[in-house]
Every structure is written in structure tokens, then in C-alpha cells.
Structure 1
Amino acid sequence: MTATPAADPTMDAITTAVTLGHQGETARARQELLVIWEDLGVLGDPLHRCTLAHYLADLHPDPAEALMWDVRALDAAGALTDRRAGEHHAGLEVAGFYPSLHLNIADNLRRLGSFEAAAGQISEAEERVATLPQGPYGDMIRTAIRGVRDAITARDTTPRSSSPTVAATD
């Protein structure tokens, strides 16, 4: 028998806010996530900080604002342990977070025209791609990594149509 994860009101609140964003209420979702962030503080639970910052970045169409949150997510991942991640979801490992985190930073740097820095971050994502699971999520991240690499090479600053931030315009 596998253990059921303990109730986590903070993750529930983050999920509720993210759902609002997915439903098009990005301003409200941002506001709710910012309230949670204030409660967490910069030394709060790394899983909560990483998750919240990762999703909050997706709610900012401005690549500079998104970059700020993506860096916070990466920083929080560095403090996160597999044990803590596994408490939230059995088998979840921090290493699997890094391809997406580096991808998002690379994409924002690219959109800002900082192509060398973006290339460094996309290389980080590529080096960690083996940690991604097989299946739709892993395939989506691998495809996005290739797309961002191509856009960096082309010196293209256009937002990707598949980027979550493209929809975050309210």
C-alpha cells in the first residue's frame, strides 16, 4: 500500500489560483499567488516557492517579469529535496524540474534579446532532458526545448505560440 500525501492547504491554494489563470482570469490568479507568496516568504517551503513562482511566471506576458519569477523558481528548486517532493507526489524527483525551469529562463532571456545567456540556459535544459518522463509531459518539454533552441539560433524574440505567457494578457 502506498502512502497518501498529507493534506497541503498551500498547494491547494496554489492549484486553485493556477486554475483561475487557466480559465483566463490571469489578473486574479496573479493576485492570489502574490498573496500566497507574501505568506510564504523567501525562506518558505521550497516546494511551495518553486511551484508558485513557476506558475506565476507563466501569468506574466512581460518576459522581464516572467524571468524574475522563473529565477525564483529555479532558486527554490535548489533548496528542494526529493524527500519533500515525494511527500507531495510519490516518486516525484527534483531533477525532473530542471529541464522546464531552465527552458523557461532561456525562453524569457531569448525574448529579451539576451541570446548568449539564453543559449547557456537552453544548454542546461538539454543536459537534463534525460530526467524527463516518457509521455505527454516529457514530450511537450523536449519539443519546447528544441523550439527555443531554434529561436535562439534564429535570433528570434517572438513569443512562442505554445508559451503559457501568450495567453496571459489580461
Structure 2
Amino acid sequence: MEDDLMVKVTAAVQRGQAGERATAREELELMWAEVEQGGGDDFHRCVIAHFLADLQDSQRDELMWDERALAAVHGVSDERAQQFDQSLQVRGFMPSLYLSLADDHRRLGDATRAHEFLEKAQATSDALGEDAYGELVKGIIGKVRRALTEGSTEPLPTH
């Protein structure tokens, strides 16, 4: 199924990854407003919020968007996700959503909440495939765990 909104989301995310963070953030915020006014569903909310979180300058704002993504995923069915991509299963979203929240709380200095979400990410990581994305998420779980052990609130290295 062609999903015009997801085409726009993908383009905005690519702009953000290319260094146009402010433009990508503005575009995704407009899409969020469109979805909130009835132009989308929980699948759209989850995806937009998840990507908007990564484009925030404030750690508190990043946490807010990650919380919105987690709240929205509960309204997404596998059937809905598969309308966008046949390979998607909602359970496969969970490790990344939990991991984002674990890292948000870690960077905000709340180790207790960070550990709670990290354990949820680990517990659902069996839903990840044996592919580059699965390995990436599993690797970040390890990095967040190490940073928590070290008491670090610094952003994780991007390399």
C-alpha cells in the first residue's frame, strides 16, 4: 500500500541524517500536527515521534517524543504495520523504543528508570532479526549498559 505520509516521513528523516536537522524537525512536527488532526493513525504517530525524538536539541524534549512513540505503538497492529512493509511486526519495534527511553533516562541521570527500560529492551531483543539493524540495536544495548555501569550521562559515541 502506498502511504504518502510515510513517503514524506522517510524524506524528512533522510534530510535529518544528511545534517538538515532543523528542517527535518520542522517537517516532522508539521506531519505530527497533521496526524493529530485526523490525517493518520497510531502507526504514523509512533514512527513520526520516534524519529522526531532523535532530532531534538533538548534531552527532555527527546524523552517526551520517545514517550509519545511508546504510547502510540500500543495502538498499532501487525496488520497495520504490514500495510506499510510486509516484513514488519510490532514486537520488532519494541527493543528500539525501550532502548531510546533507557538512553534518555541515562542521559538525564535517572539510572533506575534507565535500567528498567534497558531490561525491557533486552527482554524483547529476541524479536530482532539477524541482520544489520538487529545487530545495531543489540550493540547499542551493550553500549547503554556499559555507560550505565560507568555512571556516564554523556551521549553515546556515534561511531
How many angstroms does 1:154 deviate by? 1.5
Which ranges in structure 2 are unaligned for 5 or more consecutive residues? none
1:1-170 equivalence runs, <5 A: 6-41=1-36, 44-162=40-158
How many angstroms does 1:64 deviate by? 1.0
CA distance in 1, matches of 2:59, 2:135: 24
Amino acid at match of 1:108: D
Amino acid at match of 1:143: G
Q: Which residue of 2 aligns with 1:167?
A: none
CA distance in 1, matches of 2:73, 2:85: 15
How many residues were matched structurally? 158
Which ranges in structure 1 are unaligned for 5 or more consecutive residues? 1-5, 164-170
Amino acid at match of 1:26: R
Amino acid at match of 2:82: G
When the two chains are superposed, the root-mean-square deviation of aligned CA atoms in Å is 1.3
CA distance in 1, matches of 2:103, 2:113: 10
How many angstroms does 1:162 deviate by? 2.1
Q: Deviations over 1:44-74 (max 9, x none)?
A: 4111111111111111132211111111111
Task: Report the structure, 1 or 2, having the larger helix content.
Answer: 2
The alignment's TM-score, normalised by the length of structure 2, stands at: 0.95
The alignment's TM-score, normalised by the length of structure 1, stands at: 0.89
